[in-house]
Homo-oligomer: A and B are copies of this chain.
Amino acid sequence: MAILHHYAFCPHSRFVRLTMGEMGLEPEISEERPWAREEGFLRMNPSGTTPVFLENDIAIPGAGVIAEYLDETRGLGMNGRRLLPGDPAGRVEVRRLLEWFNSKFYDEVTGYLVTEKIIKRFSGEAPDAGAIRAARSNMRYHLRYIGFLCADRNWLAGDHMTYADLAAAAHLSCADYLGDVPWDEDELAKEWYARVKSRPAFRSLLADRVPGMTPPSHYADLDF
């Protein structure tokens, strides 16, 4: 039995849930609290971060490693809807954007927002207002970059939906839950996000809640 160890508001976990939804995979789901650094979880993934996908006794840690693993083990069975394209230039562009959102966007925006506004509620530390301000400021240029990509592409990496769209949307969905995406500043980015958000794979993400924190009314509205 395959198990996905995740945290509901970890953007990297959300990316893997979206990917598995698109691939029609329904692993058992185990919720982790990465800030608790529990010993069993650390043995499975010494870096202590979510997500970890466990299959055939292999613990596969991290969004990027899981994406490559799923493409290699499931990608060719997707009847041409492969989330990592087959041609070298297409693979470079998808992996470039996957890295952009999972590393750069996370380091500059969603890592701060999720840590300061959600995780610190549970770990008992005081949120750092400066980090939240920096994240909100950085968000604007990332949103413009998404709009820039959408100006002459159907999807972020080209003609088809790929890992790049799922990663960007996964991160944005966490920030959107917190009310920190200024959608009105970029119509193209907003239109693209509405398309990704309406995928069936997105439904379970939009249903998750942080106890005591209500998302803005547009969060789960598929028409914004």
Q: Which A residues are within 8 Å of any B CB, using their own CB?
A: 46-47, 58-62, 64-65, 68-69, 72-73, 88-89, 91-92, 95-96, 99-100, 103-104, 145
Contact = CB atoms under 8 A, between A and B. Distances in A.
Contact of A145 (B46, B58, B72, B103): B46
Copies of this protein in the assembly total 2
A99 B65 contact: yes
Contact of A68 (B47, B91, B100, B145): B91
A73 B92 CA distance: 12
Contact of A58 (B59, B64, B88): B88
Nearest to A90: B58
| Chain A contact surface mostly | helix
A63 to B, nearest CB: 10
A9 to B, nearest CB: 21
Contact of A103 (B59, B72, B103): B103
A158 to B, nearest CB: 13
